[in-house]
Every structure is written in structure tokens, then in C-alpha cells.
């Protein structure tokens, strides 16, 4: 039987009659139509977000939040935190509003935006989970270091707050009677606001209650947006993540309203390389600024920038770049909560402050939007590799001259052939006081001791411990090395020593000089048989400055290194796990990521044998060209011929980066260039540094400012300088594959000596190695 279809209307007509069916169907249609018309449209989109940090990295119990919604809905939004209503002050900006939500508990918090007129249970417009951490930290760096000296008193900010009676941390005493009040584990201080005015040469305290009406006689003015304003600066100081921060911005009127702020932030990052266990001091404007800061701060503040800094971002206080990153995140978060989100944040700082800019850009995109790294290094961990060679080679040259005053190494400038760095016969020697020295000595002499010798304690720690009345044994178990300072990253052995990355197995010192005919085969073999390596940490002894200037007691010296029949000095092998952790923790600049514009600026200091040599800028670029050529387009290199022009160059670079970020396009000045001692541009453009990283003829800047190398580069490594431990190949392979220049044949005896010096093989820098 054929099937037929019947509609609802036909069915009703057949069962209840046509008239009734038409009536019932019409009512049904009307009801259905009315229902469709009354159905609400899709609810408007409401989005909750955090402006001050990532939602999982909130600190201090509050967060600056943002709500994006149609303007007509913004007046009908209420906030609930962890199930209870809260009423943060919100400021509207078109289809969004923002404000600071307080009262967050440690751990996870649920923040909801609800419609004030919605039915209960159906009024939630959006939910945001906020993970809050204590203002004293940490966010992600793990257990905090103890012992740890609080230094707020030295900054003029008073003693830290007592937070325990268990003897943990810094002792705090009653300033009147000297009675022990307790201890401070977290070095927290109460926030403080100070006012300072610029008198043309420095900053002096300013009393806002009287100073605006009756200005000091030496108060200067600054011109902002065409108006002359009193040059008064408001400075906030406090503690975050156990370190001391300051926030400075212009305050030209009696009512501080941020009107002189240009909505841009400069994050000031300070230099040095230090071993932790201390808080550092604040940039408090009447006693906490260095010479360069006293000169630069007025120029930056006068243009309306806010300046943010933290002692945790001074590499001379501590060189844990994860901790520095964490501190910068928390400190910038506080700034945004207190003053609002800046249009962009520009990093500025030299040496270790420059390193932080490279590593923050790599490890924490968004923390900085651009930067001006001055006197940069790609990072400081890879620097320890060639710098660990300096005392070894210095000891060899010292012994060679002692044995033979007519040794060619008695002429200091010749040591450049092996060390690669610059050397001079006329610069005073930092060790011996006579004329003639090297960058290894004058630039780097103390650096390797500071990071490598576990018993080398900076005398300032003892002074501080005595000043603050620490027990004599408080620092007895500290091992003063970079790797032990980062024990929560590198780990430690049963004796408490952290593994380190120092390695020179297979390194053929002076290989390039041998190939160029600048030394003969016997001298090449003597150097490599005698140079040795550093002992294991457990075998180190304290440094004796007077009797052991190169720390030779901590070297493996050999018994008869100059005799082919004797025993060559043993080399040192790195801990491969430590190398892996240096990379995985973000302490090595790999070149894979640089998404922000950086102007790498440096005075040319090679003649001074300063550690801040110009090679470092090109080492960073070489890593980028190898790992991610697109990243290299975000770095330009400016070299200036005199320190006298440094301040003007820094301000020019800051202006260029500012315009780059403001226009979202590179200005014409964002290009490689070099500047003469008179301040005039020598050359600018893409080819000015040719000949350093390519095989082209030297560019105008390469010729004006020659680049020197390093002991590892002379031994065959590239300018990248990122290999901690080289891959090895057998000596027989090296003798056969052209490692040694054809014009430098080895005798049978010399070949036997070569095998004896390098029983495990020699470096093969064409292979990857441990990087």
C-alpha cells in the first residue's frame, strides 16, 4: 500500500471538524509566533580580564581587572569574589571599564561579573580564576634563599618588619634600647612616598607641604608639552619579592594626579654579576643613585616617563635570571595596579642590566616592549666558559716568563695571540702595577673568582653581617659560586656543592696562532700541556690575593708539563646536567626569540681593556642569525667612540625605540651605525658591520672599531660563544682532516706528545657540542 503524509492541520480537520480545526490551528500558530518573537536574543558578550598580570600570576591580594561589554550593559554589572559581593571602583573607557579588585586570598579565587537585574542563577556574565601569591613571593622560583641580608636601612628606608620569632632571617632590633625584637624572613618594609627636586646637578628632598608655595632657591624647571613646570619627582618605595623597588615620576603640582606622566614606563635594570644572599639597596633619590643614574634620571623623568626599578633587577645583587624575571613581573604588576597600564614598557640598563633585556625578551614575552641594552652580553653564564680560561692562561704566561725572562710572553701584547682579547704594553697592570696587561687581567680578573671559587666571599658580606649583628656562623655553610647560588635550579651533591658548566677538555689553546705561524708547534704543545684545568669544587681552597694572584692553587697543574716525557696537566670536564639546566632555566640567550626592538648601544672600550668588549653585541646577533634570522632584524648595534657621548646616545636610542613602539614601525634611525668621538655619525646602514659575521670586505664601522676575539675563538669556536663542552674527535682524525694548517707539520715526537695531551680527543667545533 502506498504511504501518504498528513499535516497537523489535515489531521485536526478530519477529527474535530473544519471550523474548530481552523480556530485551534490559528491559536497554535499565534502562540508559536508570539513565542518566537519573545525569545531573547543571544546575551551580549561580557569578558573579564586581568591588566596587571597573567591571571595565574597575581600577587599581593589585588589585581587590576578589565571588563569589556556593550556600553549600555556596563552600568548593570556587579562583581562577586569567592561567592561574596565586592564593589571595586571602576573607571569607564567606552566599551570597557577597569579597576582594582582587592581582598584576594592566597591560592585560587573566583571573580564573577553578574548582571544586576538578572534572575539569580542566570545572572553570571563571565567568571575569571585568579591565582594569588604573597607579595613577598615567590611566584614560580621555589624556596627562597637563606641566609638573606635585608638592606633597607642602608637605603634610608628603615629596618624590615618583624615576621617571625623563630630566628629565621634578618635580626631586627629596637633602635632605642638595642633589644632584639624578632627576625624578618621576607625583608618587607612599609611603603613610603618621598618627594625630591632637581637642582641641576642632583636630587634633594622636597617638602610638598611648603615647597610648591615657597620653592627652594635652586629648584629647576622642566618643559613638558610647552609648559615650564617645577622639576619635582614623587618616588614610591617598598618591598616586593624580598627586594626593594622604587617608582619615580614627575609631580609638578601640589596635587599628584599623574597628569605629567606620558603613560610610558622605563624599567631601569642595573648591572654587575653578584652572588645572592642579600637584598640590595633601593634607588632612593637622595642617596641611592650611581653616577650614571644621577645624570640619566633627570633626562628621562623630564620627558614625562615613569621610571621603575628593583634591587632584584640589579645583577650585581644576584644573578638568578629566573628570580630577576619573577621580580620584574611582580614589580611591574604593582605599578599597573597603582598607576594604570602604560602604553608600553622600555627596558634600559647596562651590563647585567642589558643581559636582563635579552633574557626577558626570550623567556617572558610581553614583560618588555622594547629596550636599550648598554654594554651588553648575550648572557653571563656562557661568558664563564672563555673567562675561566683567563687565569689558566695567565698562570702559564706568568710561569713562562719566570722560567725565561726572554720569553715572547714577556711582551704583554703578544698574549693576545692566544687569549684573543685585546692586550697592551702601555696600560697599567691591575695585578702587578707595572705597564703592560691584558683584558683577561684588567677586565676579567675578579669575575671568575666571584662565580667559581666557593670560598671567595666578598668582604662586604662580612661587614654587613657584623653591622646587622648576625651570628658569626650564619654564613658558614654558604658556597659562593654562581651555580650554588642557583642550587634550586642546578641541585647539589652530598657535600652541598652544585655541579657547574666549566669545561676545557679537548680545547686546543692557540690553534689559530699556530695556523697563522705566530707560534711554533713546540710552543703550541707546551701551552696545551701546561694550561691544565680547574679542580673540582670540593678541592678548592680560599684565594690568597698576595701569594696566588691567578688562584693557581685551585688549578690542575701537572707534574712536568713542559717535558714530552712528563704528565700533562689534566683538564676539567663539565657536568652535562648543569649545562642542560642552564639552558632549560633560560639562563642562556639562544637567539631563538627576540620579538621586541632593541638598540644594542656601547662605547668602544677596547683600548681600556674593559670587560665590556664590542664582540658581545655580535655574539648575540650571531646566535639569532643561526637560530632565527627573523629575530636578528629586531636588534641593531650602535657603537660610539667616546664615553663622553654616552648619555646623548642613550637618550637618542630611547627616543628611537619610543617612536618605533608608538608608530608600530621602525624609524629610519633604527639601523646599525657607529659614531665618532666627536659625536658625528661615521656610517649607518645594513652593511656597516660587514666582515664580522660574513665574508664581505669590512664595512665602515668594522674598520673604525675592530672586534677582538676570545681564547675559545682562537681555539676554533665561533663568535656565538655558546658551547660549554665541545664535541670531540680523535687526534688521528684531526691530523688527517686539515685541523692543523698544512704549513705546520708535526714531527713523530710532537704527534706522540699531542696524543698524550689529548687522550680523549680534540674539540670538533664543526659538530654541535653541548649547547
- C-alpha grid cell, residue 339: 598607576
* Distance from C-alpha of 535 to C-alpha of 554, rounded to nearest angstrom: 6
pLDDT value of position 287: 81
Place of cell 542563577: 121
Alpha carbons 203 and 221: distance in angstroms, whole number = 13
Beta strand pairing call for 533-534 and 555-556: antiparallel
Let me know: does 309 contact 264? Beta carbons within 8 Å.
no
Q: What is the mean pLDDT of each run of 10 residues along the chain (771 residues)?
A: 40 41 38 38 78 98 97 93 96 95 98 85 89 98 96 94 96 91 97 96 96 97 94 98 98 96 98 92 89 92 98 96 98 98 98 98 98 97 96 95 93 98 97 95 88 87 88 91 96 96 98 96 96 96 85 88 89 97 98 98 96 98 97 98 90 98 96 95 97 97 98 98 97 94 85 96 90 68
Sign of the torsion angle spanned by Cα atoms 614, 618, 619, 624 = positive
The number of CA neighbours under 13 Å toward the Cβ of 518 is 16
- Report the alpha-carbon distance of residue 574 to residue 583 in Å, rounded: 14
The closest alpha carbon to 631, from 589, 687, 661, belongs to 589
In this structure, is the dihedral angle defined by the CA atoms of residues 427, 428, 430 and 436, taken in order, positive or negative?
positive
**Cell 623597588 sits on residue:** 245
DSSP calls for 553-592: GGEE--SSTTSTTSPPPPP----HHHHHHHHHTT-S--SS
What secondary structure letter does DSSP report for 185? S
The whole-number pLDDT of residue 27 equals 32
pLDDT at 620: 98
Helix ranges, 279-406 (H): 291-302, 321-339, 352-363, 384-387, 389-403
CATH H-level, domain 47-133: superfamily: Immunoglobulins (2.60.40.10)
The pLDDT of residue 448 is 86
Tell me what pLDDT residue 6 has.
37
3-state helix, strand, coil in the chain (%, to 5): 30, 20, 50
Q: Name the residue with cell 594626579.
A: 257
- Cβ 101 vs Cβ 66: under 8 Å: no
Look up cell 701546561; give the residue. 530
d(CA 503, CA 500): 9
Query: Cβ–Cβ contacts within 10 Å for residue 230, how many?
Result: 20
- Where does CATH 2.60.40.10 sit in the chain? 47-133
SS3 314: strand
- In angstroms, the CA 82 to CA 105 distance is 9
* DSSP one-letter code for 164: B
Cα distance between residue 590 and residue 379, in whole Å:
9
At CA 316, angle to CA 263 and CA 358, rounded to 5? 55
d(CA 237, CA 246): 4
Question: What does the alpha-carbon distance between residue 478 and residue 458 come to, in Å, rounded to a whole number?
Answer: 12
Cα(741)–Cα(289) distance, rounded to whole angstroms?
54
Amino acid at each position: 500500500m502506498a504511504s501518504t503524509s498528513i499535516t497537523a492541520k489535515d489531521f485536526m480537520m478530519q477529527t474535530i471538524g473544519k471550523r474548530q480545526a481552523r480556530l485551534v490551528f490559528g491559536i497554535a500558530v499565534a502562540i508559536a509566533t508570539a513565542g518566537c518573537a519573545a525569545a531573547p536574543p543571544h546575551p551580549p558578550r561580557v569578558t573579564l580580564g586581568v591588566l596587571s598580570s597573567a591571571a595565574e600570576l597575581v600577587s599581593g591580594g589585588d589585581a587590576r581587572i578589565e571588563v569589556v561589554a556593550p556600553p549600555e550593559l556596563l552600568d548593570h554589572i556587579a562583581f562577586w569574589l569567592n561567592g561574596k559581593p565586592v564593589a571595586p571602583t571602576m573607571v569607564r573607557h567606552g566599551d570597557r571599564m577597569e579597576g582594582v579588585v582587592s581582598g584576594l586570598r592566597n591560592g585560587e579565587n573566583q571573580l564573577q561579573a553578574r548582571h544586576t537585574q538578572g534572575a539569580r542563577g542566570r545572572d553570571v556574565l563571565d567568571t575569571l580564576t585568579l591565582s594569588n601569591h604573597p607579595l613577598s613571593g615567590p611566584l614560580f622560583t621555589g624556596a627562597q634563599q637563606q641566609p638573606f641580608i635585608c638592606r633597607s636601612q642602608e637605603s634610608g628606608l628603615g629596618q624590615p618588619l618583624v615576621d617571625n620569632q623563630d630566628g629565621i632571617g634578618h635580626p631586627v632590633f629596637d633602635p632605642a634600647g638595642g633589644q632584639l625584637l624578632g627576625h624578618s624572613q621576607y625583608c618587607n618594609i612599609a611603603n613610603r612616598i618621598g618627594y625630591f627636586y632637581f637642582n641641576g646637578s642632583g636630587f634633594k628632598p622636597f617638602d610638598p607641604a611648603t615647597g610648591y608655595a615657597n620653592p627652594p632657591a635652586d629648584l629647576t624647571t622642566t618643559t613638558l608639552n610647552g609648559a615650564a613646570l617645577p622639576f619635582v619627582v614623587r618616588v614610591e618605595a617598598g618591598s616586593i619579592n624580598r627586594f626593594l623597588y622604587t617608582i619615580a615620576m614627575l609631580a609638578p603640582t601640589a596635587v599628584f594626579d599623574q597628569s605629567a606622566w606620558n603613560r610610558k614606563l622605563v624599567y631601569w635594570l642595573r648591572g654587575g654579576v653578584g652572588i645572592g644572599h642579600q637584598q640590595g639597596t633601593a634607588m632612593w633619590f637622595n642617596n641611592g643613585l650611581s653616577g650614571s643614574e644621577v645624570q640619566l634620571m633627570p633626562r628621562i623623568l623630564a620627558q614625562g616617563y615613569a621610571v621603575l626599578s628593583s634591587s632584584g633587577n640589579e645583577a650585581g645583587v644576584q644573578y638568578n635570571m629566573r628570580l630577576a624575571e619573577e621580580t620584574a613581573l611582580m614589580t611591574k604588576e604593582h605599578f599597573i595596579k597603582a598607576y594604570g597600564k602604560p602604553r608600553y614598557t622600555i627596558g634600559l640598563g647596562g651590563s647585567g642590566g642589558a643581559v636582563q633585556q635579552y633574557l626577558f625578551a626570550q623567556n617572558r614575552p610581553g614583560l618588555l616592549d622594547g629596550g636599550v641594552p648598554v654594554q651588553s652580553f648575550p648572557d653571563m653564564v656562557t661568558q664563564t666558559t672563555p673567562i675561566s680560561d683567563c687565569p689558566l692562561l695567565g698562570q702559564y704566561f706568568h710561569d713562562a716568563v719566570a722560567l725565561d725572562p726572554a720569553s715572547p710572553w714577556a711582551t704583554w701584547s703578544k698574549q693576545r695571540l692566544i687569549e684573543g682579547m685585546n692586550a697592551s704594553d702601555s696600560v697599567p697592570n691591575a695585578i702587578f702595577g707595572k705597564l703592560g696587561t691584558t683584558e683577561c687581567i684588567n677586565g676579567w680578573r675578579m669575575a671568575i673568582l666571584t662565580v667559581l671559587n666557593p670560598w671567595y666571599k666578598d668582604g662586604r658580606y662580612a661587614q654587613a653581617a657584623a653591622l646587622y649583628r648576625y651570628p658569626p656562623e650564619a654564613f658558614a655553610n654558604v658556597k659562593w659560586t654562581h651555580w650554588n647560588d642557583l642550587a634550586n635550579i642546578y641541585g647539589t651533591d652530598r657535600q652541598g656543592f652544585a655541579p657547574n658548566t666549566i669545561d676545557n677538555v679537548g680545547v686546543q689553546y692557540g690553534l689559530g696562532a699556530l695556523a697563522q705561524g705566530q707560534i711554533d708547534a713546540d710552543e703550541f704543545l707546551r701551552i696545551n700541556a701546561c694550561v691544565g684545568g680547574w679542580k673540582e669544587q670540593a678541592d678548592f681552597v680560599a684565594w690568597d690575593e698576595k701569594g696566588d694572584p691567578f688562584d693557581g692553587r685551585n688549578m690542575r697543574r701537572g707534574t712536568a708539563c713542559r717535558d714530552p716525557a712528563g704528565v700533562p696537566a689534566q683538564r676539567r670536564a663539565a657536568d652535562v646536567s648543569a649545562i642542560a639546566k642552564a639552558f632549560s632555566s633560560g639562563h642562556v640567550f639562544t637567539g631563538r626569540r627576540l620579538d621586541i626592538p632593541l638598540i644594542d648601544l656601547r662605547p668602544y672600550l677596547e683600548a681600556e681593556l674593559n670587560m665590556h668588549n664590542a664582540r658581545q653585541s655580535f655574539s648575540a646577533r650571531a646566535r639569532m642569525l643561526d637560530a632565527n634570522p627573523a629575530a636578528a632584524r629586531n636588534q641593531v648595534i650602535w657603537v660610539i667612540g667616546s664615553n663622553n657621548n654616552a648619555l646623548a646616545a642613550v637618550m637618542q636610542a630611547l627616543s628611537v625605540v619610543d617612536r618605533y613602539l608608538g608608530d608600530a614601525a621602525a624609524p629610519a634611525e633604527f639601523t646599525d651605525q657607529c659614531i665618532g668621538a666627536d659625536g658625528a655619525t661615521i656610517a649607518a646602514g645594513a652593511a656597516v658591520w660587514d666582515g664580522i659575521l660574513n665574508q664581505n670586505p669590512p664595512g665602515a664601522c668594522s674598520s673604525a672599531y675592530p672586534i677582538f676575539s676570545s681564547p675559545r675563538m682562537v681555539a676554533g669556536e665561533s663568535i656565538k660563544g655558546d658551547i660549554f663542552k665541545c664535541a670531540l674527535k680523535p687526534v688521528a682524525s684531526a691530523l688527517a682532516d686539515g685541523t692543523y694548517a698544512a704549513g705546520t707539520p708535526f714531527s713523530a715526537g710532537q704527534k706522540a706528545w699531542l696524543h698524550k695531551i689529548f687522550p680523549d680527543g680534540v674539540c670538533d667545533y664543526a659538530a654541535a657540542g653541548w649547547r
